[in-house]
Every structure is written in structure tokens, then in C-alpha cells.
Amino acid sequence: MLHTLDLSLELDRATYKKELLDDQLRLRELALQCYRERQSVVLVFEGWDAAGKGGSIRRLTAKLDPRGYHVYAIAAPVQGKHRHYLWRFWRRLLPADERQLQIFDRSWYGRVLVERVEGFASEPEWKRAYREINDFERQLADSGVVIVKYFFHIDKDEQLRRFEARKTTPHKRWKLTDEDFRNRDKWDAYEVAIEEMLVRTSTHTAPWTLVEANDKRHARVKCLRHLVEVLEERLADVPS
């Protein structure tokens, strides 16, 4: 699936600024409507290191009332390993009258990505996780939650270029670790894991949207535009 994406897609700066602002303002209106309708939305952002997930999240939330969304930056589990891995995500989910948009910068998909590739989960554990994740998302959808999932794809050369840029940019250097370069050696293994994840967890209720992210401007607008379209369709079905 990844190899079918056209990573040459890009937006010029003028078009980007106009489309980004138009979609941000429209999303602000839709977020207000979500509040009125008590509509919960769960957003999942996955992708390669340095693919631009954080930047897209910042643009997505830039015009929103901060009381109406929450961003969860998910790191590797360090506590509660005696609990089921989905526990730390269930406990974060809030009712719609507290937060309408709940955004996961990385998510429960770590089970079938980094935990699989790095050996933190056994083969029976990560193989079982596909069914567990689909059931988890189906329960959310059955309770009325809108689930939107994005995978940001870049090529290996673009990732290296961004790593090198971080090295020379003082305010971005903190993002770069030796682990990032080490993970590049496992690119092929991660690609296999990503492909299987996309195939086995893209469902009718929670499909994946693949984002061509070699050009950050294109990725940000595509993500934002897609979310606007999803919410417009969902809220149009809400009885007035």
C-alpha cells in the first residue's frame, strides 16, 4: 500500500496558506457543532519518525478552542506493564461533554509496530493485537465515537534529510536521538509491520487514511481537509 503513494505531491506556499486557513476556520465551526451535539472524535496519528505528525497536529488545532480538544503524546509504556496494553488508552478517553476531539500522537498501534519490531511483545501477543484493536475501535464506534486514523508516509531519503536538518537547528535538536538513527537500520522490518497493520486494521468503522508527507504543506492540508469532510458528513446525519 505504501508504494502506491505519490510522494512527489506538493503545494506552493501561497496555495498552502489559503487552503490551510480556510480549512482551519471550517474545522473551528465543526468543532463547535461537535460540542453542541456532544459528538466525540478520536484522532490517531501514526507514521515514520520525522514524518511531520506533530506539525500537522499543531496546524489542526491552531484555531480551535483549547477547552475542546486534548493531545496525548504517547511514549513507550514504563508503568503498568502488568496491565493489558489497551488499559492506558481506555483510561484517557473522555466523555464528549469534557473534550470533543481527543488526539493521539502515536497510539495503541505501537503494539503491532515498535513492540513487534523491537521484540517488546511476543509473536502471539502482537498477532492477537490486531483482533483486540479492531474490537476496541468497534466498541468506540458503537458508542457513537468518530474514529479518524492517519498514517504519515515519507521515503527513507527524506527522513534522513529531516534528521540532518534537526542536527543543525538548535530548537529542534532535542527531537533527535541515537535511537532515531538506529531505527533506520530496521526500515524494512518496520515497512512489513506497517503494511500488515494497514491491511488488518483498516475497517469500515475505522479506516486508515494514508498521507503523502514528503511535502509537509501537502500533508497538513490533506489531513485537515479530510477531517473537515469526515465531520461534515457525520454531523449532517445528526437530527436537528
Per-residue pLDDT reduced to its tens digit, 182-222 = 888 899 999 999 999 999 999 999 999 999 999 999 999 99
- Give the model confidence (pLDDT) of 135-145 as tens digits: 999 999 999 99
Q: What is the mean pLDDT of the chain?
A: 92
Stretch among 103-107, 109-113, 233-237 having the lowest mean pLDDT: 233-237
Domain assignment present for 149: yes
Q: What is the pLDDT of residue 171?
A: 72
Question: What is the Cα–Cα distance from 44 to 150, expressed in whole angstroms?
Answer: 6
Structural domain count of the chain: 1
Q: Determine contact, residues 147/103, Cβ cutoff 8 Å.
A: no
Q: How far is CA 137 from CA 140, 197, 209, 223, in A?
A: 5, 14, 15, 20
Q: Is the pLDDT of residue 79 over 60?
A: no
The pTM score is 0.93
Looking at residue 36, its amino acid is R
Domain assignment present for 127: yes
Q: Determine contact, residues 180/173, Cβ cutoff 8 Å.
A: no
- Give the model confidence (pLDDT) of 12-54 as tens digits: 999 999 999 999 999 999 999 999 999 999 999 999 999 999 9
What is residue 150's three-state secondary structure? strand
Domain assignment present for 177: no
Using 50, 70 and 90 to split pLDDT, how confident is the model at 239? low
Domain assignment present for 160: no
Domain assignment present for 140: yes
Give the structural domain span for 24: 2-154+187-235
Instruction: Give the CATH number for residue 112.
Output: 3.40.50.300
DSSP string, 27-93: HHHHHHHHHHHT--EEEEEEESTTSSHHHHHHHHHTTS-GGGEEEEE-----S-TTS-TTHHHHTT-
- Give the model confidence (pLDDT) of 54-69 as tens digits: 999 999 999 999 999 9
Q: What is the pLDDT of residue 128?
A: 98
